[in-house]
Amino acid sequence: MLKLENVNTHYGKIQALHDISIDVHKGEIVTLIGANGAGKTTLMMTICGDPRASSGTIFFDEEDISSVNTPEIMRKGLAVVPEGRRVFSRLSVQENLHMGAYFRSNAEYKESLAHVLELFPRLEERIDQRAGTMSGGEQQMLAIGRAMMSRPRMILLDEPSLGLAPIIIQQIFSIIEKLRDDGVTIFLVEQNANQALRIADRGYVMENGRVVLSDSGDALLTNPEVRKAYLGG
Amino acid sequence: MGKLYNAIFSAGIALVLACLMIGVKLDTDGTTLKVHGASPEQWSWIIGGIALVFLSQLFADQIDAAFGKIPKPNLSNLIPEGDKMVRLKPWLLAGVFVCMVIWPFLVSRGSVDLATLALIYIMLGLGLNIVVGLAGLLDLGYVAFYAVGAYTYALLSQYFGLSFWVCLPISAGMAALFGFLLGFPVLRLRGDYLAIVTLGFGEIIRILLNNWTAVTGGPNGISGIDKPSLFGLEFSRRPSEGGTTFHEFFGIDYSSTYKVIFLYLIAVVLVAFVIYVINRLMRMPIGRAWEALREDEIACRSLGLNRTAIKLSAFTIGASTAGFAGSFFAARQGFISPESFTFIESAIILAIVVLGGMGSQIGIILAAIVMTILPELAREFSEYRMLLFGLTMVLMMRWRPQGLVPMKRPVLELK
């Protein structure tokens, strides 16, 4: 569904990504783990077209999107939950969700809204509350819900567990699995390797802008090198 | 201890500033300049002021507590809630509109004229509110679009003899075009940088108008701009060639009040139109997109919104409102010059938006009325106008930092 072929990305003269090739199939959860500064977020941003890949190609649904501009990529059925939640804090929950369905018709909006509220009953309780006044976990739910409002076929999640309590992280991950069961393909960028690999079908490990390992989620969990580097031995 | 230090420091600054600005005076004595000290009376004022600064800093907490005790008028609570509001709203609006229409026939010419000015500022405030209050783009050169609107009408009327009604949409369009042109280079800027560029833009337009003497008449401005007509009926004492005047047509005596009232009514209609359009826009997805962009640009982009388009639309629509107000201003004044479009105008409009409460339309309307009527009421203090202005601002920030009527966003009920 999403395919990267030999993608290189530069920030000015500095090369952030080296020959990245990644493949995400329909209906999978694929996770990308790596230390800080490995290039995970850059990879995510490159898929969205900002910064642009300096070479290589990115395919989404067989279509080359490496030179399509960002807003158009985001309207092709690909949704992204940016790092650090980034909800519109002075807008209400409902308005936040409405923004997610910006390019959808009113009927589609209502349908997605019902779907998202079913997925996150907590958001329904807080529908008129300002997003900035909610807890971190609720904001993360809102961020995911907002991305789901556009009815994406694939969703990119950038560190959904960032700054959340372990129990909330578990909730978020079970929601991610639920999304997969709904038929949404998921590409998950995580620091929390343990949790992420547990729900992932496949995983990639990044180091210094290169993909150094790729295997099934379970295999990576038991891989001694991965255990040593990311799971504390 | 910290507070004492703070108080001494503030008093020291006040002393330095007061000595430089009031304590020392330059006078011409023949061909030479002479330095005079202040009179004993002035010195006592200066010392009193410094003591005031010292004490107010020393007892800042107590003063703040006292400020907290002043009851805050909760104007938004006066508006009935929920269903009641839905039922009452059309009647209320109709009532206000009818009052606005009847009112000028009952009061003096001067107050009608003042009300017209207030209406112009309401239009400007509402326009700037889109850019600053909703989209969160600090624009310090808003007066440029006002100037563009005014000059568009003045020039078209002077060179091509076009009427006010034809020029009104053209002016709005021209201002929108300038908004669009300014929008492009500043798209990447935020906050302070944006403020400086827009400030520069405002000055560029003013200086251009001042120096392009061949077309704009430079500092002399343009005079004798046609007044608006009512379906071809003029409001002058004597008709122009081939024209008919209002009083002749209806067979009544000439009175200059008709013209003032007519201008006022036009302003009422224009303001009603602007409020209607902006209200619609705010409820449309684009209105929400402006607010979302103000909140978080990255999140907006992650949702596939094109920030270029959103920012440009905010700039363009805000500018076109100013163009609207500008062409009406030119028609009302009959004379415009670059003097009318200095930075202080931008500052006043921005002050209206901030005082009213960013994003809130009712608040801005109230603030515009207050800001135009207060200086008129305080005519005797005209020298201290800017001082009063600053004082109001400081008091507002202490007492009601979120503005007169903070914004309450329309909430859509899904049932």
Condensed to tens digits (0 to 9), the pLDDT of residues A101-160 reads 988 889 999 999 999 999 899 999 999 899 989 999 999 999 999 999 999 999 999 999
pLDDT-above-70 percentage for chain A: 99
The CA distance from B216 to B207, in Å, is 11
A129 has a chain B CB within 8 A of its CB: no
Q: Are residues B29 and B119 in the same domain?
A: no
**Nearest C-alpha in A relative to B414:** A110
How do beta strands B244-245 and B233-234 pair? parallel
Answer yes or no: do A81 and B303 touch at CB < 8 A: no
**Side chain identity at B172, as an amino acid letter?**
A
Q: Which residues of B touch A110 (CB under 8 A)?
A: 414
Contacts of A75 in chain B (CB under 8 A): 304
Q: pTM of the entire structure?
A: 0.82
Q: Are strands A29-34 and B222-223 parallel, antiparallel or unpaired?
A: unpaired
Does the residue B77 lie in any domain? no
CB-CB neighbours of B230 under 10 Å: 14
The domains of chain A, with CATH numbers, are 2-77+152-231 (3.40.50.300), 91-151 (no CATH)
- State the best of A93, A102, A142, A155 to mutate against chain B, taking most chain B CBs within 10 Å: A102
Residue A224 has pLDDT above 60, yes or no: yes
Q: List phi, psi (to 5°) of B342.
A: -85, 175
- Which among B285, B325, B344 has a CA at the least distance from the CA of B140? B344
Residue among A89, A98, A103 minimizing CB distance to B288: A98
Q: Which of B115, B385, B369 is nearest to B267 (CA)?
A: B115
**Is there a domain that residue B415 lies in?**
no
Name every chain A residue with its beta carbon within 8 A of the beta carbon of B409.
91-92, 95
B277 and B332 co-located in one domain: yes
Secondary element (H or E) of residue A70: helix A70-74
Residue A192 near residue A169, CB atoms below 8 Å:
yes
| Residue whose token pair is 């808003």 | B142
Of residues B295, B304, B411, nearest to A74 (C-beta): B304
R_g over Cα of chain B: 25
Measure Cα distances from A226 to A35, A194, B173 in Å. 11, 10, 62
For B415, nearest residue in chain A (alpha carbons): A110
DSSP β-ladder status, A2-11 and A55-60: antiparallel
Number of independent structural domains in chain B: 2
Q: State the best of A73, A92, A95, A144 to mutate against chain B, taking most chain B CBs within 10 Å.
A: A95
- Rounded Cα distance, B360 and B407, in Å: 4
The position carrying tokens 């700037």 is: B128
Question: Distance between CA atoms of A159 and A193, rounded to whole angstroms?
Answer: 11
Q: What are phi and psi of B326, to 5 degrees?
A: -65, -45
pLDDT (tens, 9 = 90+) of chain B, 415 residues, equals 678 888 888 888 888 888 877 777 777 777 787 777 777 788 888 888 888 888 888 887 887 787 777 766 555 555 555 567 677 778 888 888 888 888 888 888 888 889 999 999 999 999 999 999 899 889 999 999 999 999 999 999 988 888 888 899 999 999 999 999 888 888 778 778 889 999 999 999 999 999 998 888 888 888 888 888 777 677 776 666 666 777 767 777 777 778 888 889 999 999 999 999 998 998 888 999 999 998 888 899 888 888 888 999 999 999 999 999 999 999 998 899 998 899 988 988 998 998 888 888 888 999 999 888 887 777 777 777 777 777 877 887 777 777 777 776 555 445 4
Which positions in chain B touch A82 (Cβ < 8 Å)? 298-299, 302
Does B186 lie in the same domain as B246?
Answer: yes
Let me know whether B132 and B274 are in one domain: yes
User: Where in the sequence is the domain holding B309, given as residue range(s)?
Assistant: 92-399
Q: Give CA–CA dist A218/A231, Å, rounded.
A: 13
Residue B17 lies in a domain: yes
Q: What is the pLDDT of residue B75?
A: 56
Interchain pair A88, B412: CB under 8 A = no
Q: B124 and B20: one domain?
A: no
pLDDT digits (tens, 9 = 90+) for A22-56: 999 999 999 999 888 888 999 999 999 888 999 99
Same domain, B38 and B141: no
**E-state strands within A82-190:** 154-158, 185-190
Per the CB < 8 Å rule, is A150 touching B303?
yes
B103 in a structural domain: yes
Average pLDDT, chain A: 90
Contact call for A102 and B409, based on CB within 8 A: no
End-to-end CA distance of chain A: 34
- Inter-chain residue contact A88 with B295, CB threshold 8 Å: yes
A178 phi/psi in degrees, rounded to 5: -65, -40
Q: Which residues contact B227 (CB under 8 A, 6 or more apart)?
A: B164, B234, B235, B236, B259, B263, B331, B332, B334
Phi, psi of A74 (to 5 degrees): -70, -15
Same domain for B105 and B23: no
Strands A29-34 and A78-81 turn out to be unpaired
- Phi-psi map region of B80: left, alpha, beta (phi>0 left; psi -120 to 50 alpha): beta
> Does B153 lie in the same domain as B250?
yes
Closest CA to B15 of B58, B51, B59: B51
- Contact assignment for A103 to B304 by CB distance below 8 Å: yes
Tell me if B411 and A72 make a contact (CB, 8 A cut-off).
Answer: no
Chain A (166-225) residues lying within 8 Å, Cβ to Cβ, of chain B:
none
Mean pLDDT of A86-103: 90
pLDDT at B73: 59
| CB-based contact B412 A94, cutoff 8 Å | yes
Task: Note whether residue B414 is domain-resident.
Answer: no
**B32 located within any domain:** yes
* Chain A, chain B: beta-carbon pairs less than 8 Å apart: 78
Residue B271 in any domain: the answer is yes
Residue-level pLDDT at B83: 66
On whether ipTM exceeds 0.95, the answer is no
Structure tokens, A12: 């000015």
- Are B356 and B297 in the same domain? yes
Measured in angstroms, the CA of B294 and the nearest CA of chain A are apart by 9
Q: Whole-angstrom Cα distance, residue B36 to residue B340?
A: 35
- Name the residue among B288, B294, B305 with its Cβ closest to that of A71: B305
Of A86, A92, A98, the CB nearest to B296: A86
Which of B282, B290, B295 should be substituted to probe chain A, the one whose Cβ sees the most A Cβ atoms within 10 Å? Answer: B295
C-beta separation of B139 from B202 below 8 A: no
Burial of B147 (0-12, 13-18, 19+ CB in 10 A): buried
> CB A86 to CB B301 under 8 A?
no
Tell me: do B49 and B189 sit in the same domain.
no
B284 DSSP 8-state letter: S
B304 touches A: beta carbon within 8 Å: yes
The confidence score (pLDDT) of residue B415 equals 47
Neighbours of A50 (CB within 10 A): 12
Q: Which residue is associated with the tokens 């010195």? A: B43
Asked if residue B278 and residue B197 are part of one domain, the reply reads yes
Chain B residue closest to A88 (CA)?
Answer: B295
By CA distance, what is A131's nearest residue in B?
B295
Q: In one letter, which amino acid is A101?
A: A
| Residue B195 sits in the same domain as residue B128 | yes
Q: How far is residue A109 from each of residues A150, B47, B281, B295, measured CA to CA in Å?
A: 8, 66, 19, 22
Q: Which amino acid is at A202?
A: R
Mark which of B38, B69, B100 sits at the end of a domain: B69
Among B294, B296, B304, beta carbon nearest to A71: B304
Give backbone dihedrals phi and psi of A83, rounded to 5 degrees, phi first: -60, 140
Minimal C-alpha gap between B402 and chain A (Å): 13
Q: Is residue B86 part of a domain?
A: no
